[in-house]
Structure 1
């Protein structure tokens, strides 16, 4: 393979930027890396903004501190690599609530994404089914099986646990429903345990024991100054060339690698590369793969992945009466537009305002209910203000400022069998075109650590395909 390598990364979200950092660290000296971002803004769903004179996240607000295996998460490792570890801050208030029968009740402890490890701890929120979680003398799941989270939990713990606890937990992360989401993708630790344990209680406890957490150990972290700092640092750390407003419209294999068609139809730019890493959502990736003759099947599989749309409404409220909570989650059965809310300046104490102004953020939009978002920003903000007042039981003051961030088609919906489908697509790519790799939330799961790890892993695959690291 010619030297220096030329690697094109399509997508300037945190996945693509993490891949660029890994290439800088591991590829031979002189490797030319170019990141092509269709929009004018890097970072994807990581976007720090300002409201009423203070910083606020208009996208993801934090990252998990630990990896499911128990070590530091890929996000923390990247933060450390970029020299920002000293700026990690943690929530000042960790207790969240659930809306149950119109009122707030504390989220019970001892659960795994809402799935109880101790049924007695969840009775204040949901009454579990009696004696349904029996040992039938075999593991809950066959070695290669996958089911929806809702199907497994309903069968073992009953409808109330799913509807009032598990569903809002998953809805807050994926904007989807427990009955549709893959267990293996959204809760891999529980899926692994379920292939060994004979009861769901046993599986939850085994998954929790596999990655024990010390008392008081923080679960989440963010960066002082906002997560856009992570984006900016990653964009500059590896020396990659960053091309904004550079849409990659076509991908064509050549005798030595790939040719990318970049830019507008009337004035296209043709760029040659030795390898390409696609770090874009499934549908744009599918469109690019569809143009490669022997990848039509892979493109069709990837293109079937659906996404949910959400809106994040942030209100700046003068001295509101807020409970000492980080926020709350809303079961779909409550009939509210809001599916989750964060008391931003309460949860993140370093953002507390001396003037008493509070930032409250609400997430709106569930999969299949996109019609609820088809209103003006003003109407959406008014509805959120009204529902917040209803849930809290006090009329909140009128906001002095507000911001509505719409994320259309932003959250992947992983149906059972998702990981097997992605594995088959990647196997097809490795077999036919090893210098083409896929990375991102659409394939490996949501969350900053997962996206960082996905990008880094794809970068390693590219390095191997091109001939190994320096």
Structure 2
């Protein structure tokens, strides 16, 4: 950087893990040769990584873990000096509510698509097993390159596989329905296998699974002190000027740079920047890009969102939690009395996570909310707790009076990756120099995927700063 040149200024809109990852990577790439401002509309950093004190424990009430088989989160924890706090789940197995009964979650599936049909036979009726077996006789899969997961599975493997296996797993990740979610965006390994060989859906699932017979590495990881500690660690390492309760209301082009209009406690202010990272949900992207990149704005407007809630309960320490780490429930399942389940999944946290054992309480988390079912979340907190407790009593026999409860609501928290989501993302990422997007809207809702989008956004901004368009960083 020229000694006479002013330090570049980058504004990051959004103080969730994606935006903070971008800020951190900007700092590690540029060093002190930049001013980095992070704007967050809430009064706390972290977005959907949040924790509360419950029953003497610190419990995550947003995302509770990350996929450990992707390297981004584990590598970032090492980089931040948090590797010693990395922990993995116990060996307890999870369950699946299917056909009116709770079964062990079957092995060797790709987001519920069976690679080994006999392993899922107990979850299906005779007709369901016959439909699954027919895949081998149907000829090549009619693979367009991207279909809805539910549509593809129903056509090849039958309704029961879609409803009892695939829908619960996709619902647990995206709070969506298999029939509305695209294969390429939500099950990319299966899409890649079909690209290579569309002869059979079961064979594609088998091909998509990791090869080898060595003991598998842990699937998930988290921080002993709660995953909510990751965002503030990123913020500290980024040495950013963090401004809470600030909402970006408009974005304007200013020569080779940008102006961000911000509403905050003191009123309206403007920030001029050489680069801007937008790490906000799709509705905010649509609004901020409407005037400067209308096509990208329209692409963001086509991405639907699902809302959800987490009901966390601290139960007496002597409560018998059973042996399962959790249970997923299909959207079409019913309680024994014929009424729908309110919860879509339960995590028995004190069974799943060894670091939560030994307290004066045990913890259970119930998840509520699916795309297209807003009525489930229109009840007040007391009603949600009562409904969750009723379901937990029926599902797991948990009838103990809670010592403490908390409800965390995530309005519009999960983007729905429909068919051709990749096309929308390509339009959304086709932005002018000095402008970048990051976040769960793009390439995955998990923490590793969000970290990757933050790093990619930072790289795009650094490329712009180094290009000579601004003239502050040497190429």
- TM class, shorter-chain normalised? over 0.9
Q: Distance in 1 between matches of 2:237 and 2:254?
A: 30
Equivalent position of 1:284 in the other structure: 284
Q: Which of 293, 297, 300 is matched with 2:298 structurally?
A: 300
Shift, 1:54, TM fit? 1.1
Q: Distance in 1 between matches of 2:141 and 2:155?
A: 14
What do the CA deviations read for 1:304-324 (whole angstroms, capped 9, x no partner)?
Answer: 211111010011112322221
Q: Distance in 1 between matches of 2:342 and 2:114?
A: 26
**Kept in 2: contact 1:140–1:199 (CA 8 A):** no
TM-score w.r.t. the length of structure 2 is 0.92
**Kept in 2: contact 1:93–1:325 (CA 8 A):** no
Shift, 1:138, TM fit? 5.2
Q: Is residue 73 of structure 2 the alignment partner of residue 93 of structure 1?
A: no
Q: Distance in 2 between matches of 1:28 and 1:400?
A: 48
TM-score w.r.t. the length of structure 1 is 0.92
Shift, 1:214, TM fit? 3.7
Equivalent position of 1:396 in the other structure: 399
Larger mean CA deviation between 317-326 and 187-196 belongs to: 317-326
Structure 2 unpaired stretches of 5+:
334-339, 468-472
Shift, 1:297, TM fit? 2.4
Q: Distance in 2 between matches of 1:207 and 1:253?
A: 44
Name the SS for the 1:228 alignment partner.
helix
Q: Which of 15, 39, 57 is matched with 1:54 structurally?
A: 57
Shift, 1:209, TM fit? 3.5
Shift, 1:26, TM fit? 1.4
Shift, 1:39, TM fit? 0.7
Name the SS for the 1:420 alignment partner.
helix
Structure 1 unpaired stretches of 5+:
68-72
Q: Is residue 230 of structure 2 the alignment partner of residue 230 of structure 1?
A: yes
Equivalent position of 2:336 in the other structure: none
**Kept in 2: contact 1:313–1:384 (CA 8 A):** yes
Q: Which of 348, 353, 361 is matched with 2:358 structurally?
A: 353
What do the CA deviations read for 1:359-386 (whole angstroms, capped 9, x no partner)?
Answer: 1110001111111111111111011101
Q: Is residue 206 of structure 2 the alignment partner of residue 208 of structure 1?
A: no
**Kept in 2: contact 1:10–1:248 (CA 8 A):** yes
Q: Distance in 1 between matches of 2:59 and 2:213?
A: 29
Name the SS for the 1:141 alignment partner.
coil
Relative to structure 1, the CA distance from residue 397 to residue 265 in structure 2 (aligned partners, 3 Å threshold; closer, same or farther) is closer
> How large is the RMSD of aligned CA atoms in angstroms?
1.9
Equivalent position of 1:6 in the other structure: 9
Shift, 1:395, TM fit? 5.3
Q: Distance in 2 between matches of 1:263 and 1:138?
A: 56
Matches within 5 A, 1:403-414: 403-414=406-417
Shift, 1:140, TM fit? 5.2
Q: Distance in 1 between matches of 2:298 and 2:433?
A: 19
Q: Is residue 377 of structure 2 the alignment partner of residue 373 of structure 1?
A: yes
Q: Distance in 2 between matches of 1:94 and 1:65?
A: 17
Relative to structure 1, the CA distance from residue 262 to residue 302 in structure 2 (aligned partners, 3 Å threshold; closer, same or farther) is same
Relative to structure 1, the CA distance from residue 354 to residue 24 in structure 2 (aligned partners, 3 Å threshold; closer, same or farther) is closer
Equivalent position of 1:70 in the other structure: none
Matches within 5 A, 1:76-155: 76-126=74-124, 127-128=128-129, 129-134=131-136, 141-142=143-144, 145-155=145-155
Q: Is residue 222 of structure 2 the alignment partner of residue 217 of structure 1?
A: no
Q: Distance in 1 between matches of 2:30 and 2:443?
A: 23
Equivalent position of 1:338 in the other structure: 343
Name the SS for the 2:179 alignment partner.
coil
What do the CA deviations read for 1:443-463 (whole angstroms, capped 9, x no partner)?
Answer: 222110010001101111111
Name the SS for the 2:310 alignment partner.
strand
Shift, 1:139, TM fit? 6.3
Relative to structure 1, the CA distance from residue 455 to residue 214 in structure 2 (aligned partners, 3 Å threshold; closer, same or farther) is farther
Shift, 1:134, TM fit? 3.6
Relative to structure 1, the CA distance from residue 231 to residue 95 in structure 2 (aligned partners, 3 Å threshold; closer, same or farther) is same
Shift, 1:243, TM fit? 1.0
Larger mean CA deviation between 93-102 and 394-403 belongs to: 93-102
**Kept in 2: contact 1:139–1:195 (CA 8 A):** no
Relative to structure 1, the CA distance from residue 376 to residue 139 in structure 2 (aligned partners, 3 Å threshold; closer, same or farther) is closer
Shift, 1:296, TM fit? 1.7
Q: Distance in 2 between matches of 1:178 and 1:451?
A: 22
Larger mean CA deviation between 459-468 and 89-98 belongs to: 459-468
What do the CA deviations read for 1:82-117 (whole angstroms, capped 9, x no partner)?
Answer: 011111101113410011344321000111111111
Q: Which runs of 4+ in 1 moved over 6 A?
A: none
**Kept in 1: contact 2:150–2:180 (CA 8 A):** yes
**Kept in 1: contact 2:10–2:275 (CA 8 A):** yes
**Kept in 2: contact 1:87–1:224 (CA 8 A):** yes
Matches within 5 A, 1:123-202: 123-126=121-124, 127-128=128-129, 129-134=131-136, 141-142=143-144, 145-197=145-197, 198-202=199-203
